[in-house]
Chains A and B, each alone.
Chain A
Amino acid sequence: MVQRSKIWANIDWVTVLLYLVLVFMGWFNIYAAVYDSDHQSIFDISQRYGKQLLWIGAGAALAIIIMSIETNFYVFFSYVIYGVMVFLLLLVLLIANEVNGARSWLEIGGFKIQPSEFAKFATALALARYMSTFDFKLKDFKSLAIMALIIFTPAALILLQNDTGSALVYFSFVLVLFREGLSGLVLFLGTLVATLFILALILSNFTLILVLLGAGVLMYLILNPKFNQFLRVLMFFAGGVLLAFLLNAIMGRKYESADVVIFGTVLGALGTLVYSLQKKFKSYVVISLFFIGSVAFTNSVGYAFDNILEPHHQVRIKELLGIESNPYGAGYHVNQSKIAIGSGGMWGKGYLNGTQTKFNFVPEQSTDFIFCTVGEEWGFAGTFIVIALFVFFLSRLVWLAERQRSVFSRIYGYSVAVILFFHFMVNIGMTVGIMPVIGIPLPFFSYGGSSLWSFTILLFIFIRLDASRLENFRDSRNA
């Protein structure tokens, strides 16, 4: 056992300092966002800024408590904590009242908390615990299944609460898995799926096929630039399209030419697939599969979009992609947010001088849209500093995670970094209009006790783990 005093000495004070800077910047901006001349005192606890100060104080207390607990506690009780959180999420589903269409608040004696916020660190702990066990293998199906269960059980429960934004956060664990050896192909496919999803919504089917054909040709040129084979493949496609037209003619021209062409190309791709399987042309198999898969995927996107997503999410995605634009409807948030940020200019309008901020043009400004206050009152200089601070902070966490000797601590550290990164990316992306409006808070900045405390707990457990990184504790896979 390392003595207690040594733990305090080993704390990474840079991270703690960054945390404090972000929290207090957030507090000042909350003051600006809800400022009104009737309640001028920043300590007025009837106002959000006064309350936020209370949450900050309580957060500090939480941090100290976390720092005082032995590291082993977090390892031993990780599953227990996780279990309790899953139970709370279930409980919320059963007993909570609906607020703004979501069922995510748990009321205990007049005190309201949001279990979905706290589920994040619990999942990170459980994941770190599970992935640091001996028999965990990333390539083992059973391990993967259990890991997926750990990650997606809370995500599914949160999704059932109608809190899509918080549920999406759990996808950020993919980055942790990537660090732990998950194939880059998974990330690539993920990106591909997302791109195709967006293209499918923006482009017409016919244009999309042309794009995919182009992509196929490009892949072919990269993988196996042999002209003879290319001619043969071309013949398959020409034949496929011809056949499709012939079939359509027989059926009395039932389908439109564009659809016939699409069908023809799929026939061509199928032909190519069969042919290349016989001849064992590996690259053609890949390209054909990619093509067929993409066509199938994009054609099902429309269906999925219309039938699986909530209408308000559909509208927000359409807004974002520029398919639909209504600056006074669903686009109102983003439009006002962009106006507030854009009007800040290089140096901003000055603290408490933001007109869009003061007069409440941006909805939810102290919570999800707190970044607007920074943009309007501090200008590009302010937004640059905040983004730079976040990147430095996140990179510092990665660096800290990387220096851990225990796998548990490293995985937990990465989890902290990527969860915070996901919030950072989606929240700021949303305020500047390049991400759909998914209501998740900006860590440490946004008003709210639950989110502040959950981020504080999330972070300080890692700082605590880091502080005793030189200790030997029960970890079977110490590097």
Chain B
Amino acid sequence: MNDYSRRSYIIILVFILVALVFLIRLFNLQVMDSTYKQYATNNVLREVVQYPARGLIYDRNGELLVYNKTAYDLLVTPREVKPFDTTLFCRLLDITREDLEAGIQKARKYSSYKPSILVKQISPENYAILQEQLYKFEGFHSQTRTLREYSAPAAAHALGYVSEVTQSDINKDSYYKSGDYIGASGIEKTYEAQLRGTKGVKKNLVDVHNRIQGSYLEGSEDVPAQIGKNLVTTLDLDLQLYAEKLFKNKKGAVVAIEPSTGEVLAMVSAPVYDPGLLVGRVRGANYKVLESDSLMPLFNRALQAKYPPGSTFKTINALIGLQEGAITPETRFSCAGRGSTPIRCTHDHISPANVVEGIRESCNPFMWNTFRSIIGRAKTAAEGFRTWRQYVQNFGLGTILSEDFANTLKGDLPSEELYNRIYGKGRWNALTVRSLSIGQGELGATPLQMANVAAIVANHGFYYEPHIVKEVEGDTIRSSYRKKHEVGIDEKYFAPIIEGMRQSIKNYYYIPGLEYCGKTGTIQIGRGLEHGAFEAFAPREEPKIAVFTYVENSKWGSQYAAPIASLMIEKYLNDTIASNRLHIEERMLNSNLLDPNKIVITDGAAE
């Protein structure tokens, strides 16, 4: 043996020392320190949000109104971007180099490691071209989104539109993340919770080149997206389209309701716009154009316009008079026609007139006299006014009629306090506020409210809450829609009103073979041509449809509002327009009320 053989132990000791250092190090790395496990997960895990398709929207007959089309978002993960052919890239995506640079800059600001959206809503056609070249651009990938598509360019206001969430949406509901879509108006907004479905998440494993290699834990932690629920609306697409056609080149609104249910059959705010304009990459630009249009196409007149109802309000006033005993069916008031004071009548007619004749002839003196009687029955004007006002409110004016519509307004129903402020307490009476009796003055009602009034008259004193959605897939509809709302007017008092409305049907809105009831209105406005309105229901017995049309600057109600309503009624009930009325339809379709010089008044007959 060699002298130095004991050194073998030192050498073995060195082996063991090194091994010990390794084991301590490994124990730290593998057992004590959990950060490496987190890093490993971050390395391989890519969570991909699964966006559900929004629910489909149908009309009452099962016609598809709104569906989805696929679009693609292009995302960028700044850290993974390698130098690439920017010219080709910009050309494929139809963006400028500045857009690209700003986009990547913004993405980098958000995160270098997480993907953020660079270009939104690329159409399938463009994406097909892009996809073939996408491999050339490292750090970019796409995700599938769905966009709204409309089977007909109709009912834009009722359906509403979808837009990207705002910061306040995100603050309100943590479900939403930047870049998500949310219903911003109409049905899309009211039924957002049902339509949107639930986002899912797919956890993918990726390799070092960020290529997907499969699901994490065999997909056991994936949450599939749940597609939104489908909706069946109460709208009748044919009627809706027809109404929109009739309103071409006009300003105004129409709401049609099925009186027996409160279901809204059609709802138009004119001018209309194609809902498809507010979808996809063109949305921003189109929105700006629509928003700055002086005709205010985005403004939903059917729900938000506070139109003075004019003579169409006379039905309510007369019914209150009858109910309150201020008048009886036999009560007559004399009218001096155009010479009447303090409100003149529009034309000369039979005098003194009873309530049937008062409605038929739309007699202003009859109405203010009735109004004065109602108010005068109480000790003070204020108390009488309070009673009158309560009835009007029962008819739905000055209230939010239904929660089923987004962004709907109450309208104006003046209060006692308002008049106290204007005239002083106790210093006003029925005659001071007599304009109310003919639906003018401080009164403002939405077309929805007035269509509901037509339904109330059709129903002889009650209504069902107007609503636009009939069915939510796999869900029960709100029970409030089945609740009868009584307005507090005895059924018997409706007979003379309805008779007066039936007798008033004439001229261009007379429908051969159909007995129906209507009331025109002509509303004086400060400047320009009067607004025309028409309130109607049909048929007289067992009414199927109640309509309220309002056509701005159309002179008299009989000129446009009534013919349009009559055509809609005829279309809805008969499915075709009688041949001897086709010229009326043509006149409606071809008229242009947006240009004051082109307005054609064909009939001297006033209300």
- Is B128 at the interface (CB under 8 A from chain A)? no
Q: Is A179 within 8 A of B7, CB to CB?
A: yes
Q: Is B29 within 8 A of A342, CB to CB?
A: yes
* CB-contact partner of B29 in A338, A356, A417, under 8 A: A338
Write out the residue numbers on chain A whose beta carbons fall within 8 Å of the beta carbon of B294. Answer: none
Distance of A375 Cα from B16 Cα, bound (Å)? 20
Q: Is B30 within 8 A of A375, CB to CB?
A: yes
- Is B22 at the interface (CB under 8 A from chain A)? yes
Distance of A398 Cα from B14 Cα, bound (Å)? 12
* CB-contact partner of A359 in B21, B22, B39, B44, under 8 A: B44
Q: Is B29 within 8 A of A432, CB to CB?
A: yes
With both beta carbons as reference points, the residue of chain A lying nearest to B4 in the complex is identified as: A181
* CB-contact partner of A479 in B2, B23, B27, under 8 A: B2
Q: Is A344 within 8 A of B22, CB to CB?
A: no
Q: How large is the interface on A (under 10, 10 to 19, 20 to 34, 35 or more residues)?
A: 35 or more
- Is A343 at the interface (CB under 8 A from chain B)? yes
With both beta carbons as reference points, the residue of chain A lying nearest to B30 in the complex is identified as: A380
Q: Which of A16-24, A68-76, A198-206, A383-391 contacts B (4 or more CB under 8 A)?
A: A383-391
Q: Is A360 within 8 A of B26, CB to CB?
A: no
- Is B423 at the interface (CB under 8 A from chain A)? no
* CB-contact partner of B3 in A181, A339, A341, A433, under 8 A: A181
A179-B7, A181-B4 known; A361-B43 Cβ under 8 A: yes
Distance of A344 Cα from B26 Cα, bound (Å)? 10
With both beta carbons as reference points, the residue of chain B lying nearest to A175 in the complex is identified as: B11
Distance of A418 Cα from B14 Cα, bound (Å)? 11
Write out the residue numbers on chain A whose beta carbons fall within 8 Å of the beta carbon of B209. Answer: 360
- Is A317 at the interface (CB under 8 A from chain B)? no
- Is B422 at the interface (CB under 8 A from chain A)? no
Chain B, residues 11-34, CB within 8 Å of chain A (1/0): the string is 110111011011101110111010
Q: Is B22 within 8 A of A432, CB to CB?
A: yes
Q: Is B22 within 8 A of A428, CB to CB?
A: yes
Q: Is B30 within 8 A of A341, CB to CB?
A: yes
A345-B31, A375-B30, A387-B19 known; A355-B43 Cβ under 8 A: yes
- Is B110 at the interface (CB under 8 A from chain A)? no
Q: Is A359 within 8 A of B40, CB to CB?
A: no
Q: Which of A387-405 contact B (CB under 8 A)?
A: 387-388, 390-391, 394-395, 398-399, 401-402
Question: Would you give the shortest CB distance from B485 to chain A, in whole angstroms?
Answer: 63
* CB-contact partner of A343 in B1, B3, B22, B39, under 8 A: B39
Distance of A384 Cα from B26 Cα, bound (Å)? 8
Most buried by B among A343, A376, A429: A343
Secondary structure at the A interface, as helix, strand, loop or mixed, is helix
- Is B205 at the interface (CB under 8 A from chain A)? yes
Distance of A407 Cα from B5 Cα, bound (Å)? 12
Q: Is B26 within 8 A of A432, CB to CB?
A: yes
Q: Is A359 within 8 A of B26, CB to CB?
A: no
Q: Which of A354-391 contact B (CB under 8 A)?
A: 355-356, 358-361, 375-376, 379-380, 383-384, 387-388, 390-391
Distance of A414 Cα from B15 Cα, bound (Å)? 13
A359-B213, A391-B16 known; A343-B11 Cβ under 8 A: no
Write out the residue numbers on chain B whose beta carbons fall within 8 Å of the beta carbon of A383. Answer: 22-23, 26, 30
Q: Is B14 within 8 A of A175, CB to CB?
A: yes
- Is B602 at the interface (CB under 8 A from chain A)? no
With both beta carbons as reference points, the residue of chain B lying nearest to A421 in the complex is identified as: B15
Distance of A394 Cα from B21 Cα, bound (Å)? 16
* CB-contact partner of B22 in A339, A358, A376, A429, under 8 A: A429
Secondary structure at the B interface, as helix, strand, loop or mixed, is helix
Distance of A57 Cα from B18 Cα, bound (Å)? 32
Write out the residue numbers on chain B whose beta carbons fall within 8 Å of the beta carbon of A344. Answer: 30
- Is B206 at the interface (CB under 8 A from chain A)? yes
With both beta carbons as reference points, the residue of chain B lying nearest to A360 in the complex is identified as: B208
Q: Is B37 within 8 A of A356, CB to CB?
A: no
With both beta carbons as reference points, the residue of chain B lying nearest to A176 in the complex is identified as: B11
* CB-contact partner of B40 in A339, A360, A399, A401, under 8 A: A339
Chain B, residues 222-249, CB within 8 Å of chain A (1/0): the string is 0000000000000000000000000000
* CB-contact partner of B30 in A346, A360, A399, A417, under 8 A: A346
- Is B8 at the interface (CB under 8 A from chain A)? yes
Distance of A384 Cα from B40 Cα, bound (Å)? 21
* CB-contact partner of A398 in B11, B25, B207, under 8 A: B11
A338-B29, A359-B207 known; A387-B12 Cβ under 8 A: no
Distance of A232 Cα from B213 Cα, bound (Å)? 73
Write out the residue numbers on chain A whose beta carbons fall within 8 Å of the beta carbon of B43. Answer: 336, 339, 355-356, 359, 361
Write out the residue numbers on chain A whose beta carbons fall within 8 Å of the beta carbon of B8. Answer: 179, 398-399, 401-402
- Is B292 at the interface (CB under 8 A from chain A)? no
Question: Would you give the shortest CB distance from B211 to chain A, in whole angstroms?
Answer: 8
Q: Is A355 within 8 A of B44, CB to CB?
A: yes
- Is A425 at the interface (CB under 8 A from chain B)? yes
With both beta carbons as reference points, the residue of chain A lying nearest to B9 in the complex is identified as: A398
Question: Would you give the shortest CB distance from B5 to chain A, in whole angstroms?
Answer: 6
- Is A180 at the interface (CB under 8 A from chain B)? yes
19 contacts between A and B (CB under 8 A): A175-B14, A178-B11, A341-B30, A342-B29, A343-B36, A343-B37, A343-B39, A343-B40, A356-B43, A356-B44, A359-B206, A359-B207, A360-B207, A361-B44, A383-B22, A383-B23, A388-B19, A395-B15, A429-B18
Interchain residue pairs A-B with the least CB separation, the first 8: A342-B36, A343-B40, A359-B207, A342-B29, A380-B30, A355-B44, A339-B39, A391-B19
Other than the given A181-B3, A394-B15, 20 more pairs (CB < 8 A) read A179-B11, A339-B40, A339-B43, A340-B40, A342-B35, A342-B37, A345-B30, A358-B207, A359-B205, A359-B213, A361-B43, A361-B208, A375-B26, A383-B22, A391-B16, A395-B16, A398-B8, A398-B12, A414-B11, A429-B18
Measuring CB to CB, which residues of chain B are less than 8 angstroms from any residue of chain A?
Answer: 1-5, 7-8, 10-12, 14-16, 18-19, 21-23, 25-27, 29-31, 33, 35-37, 39-41, 43-44, 205-209, 213
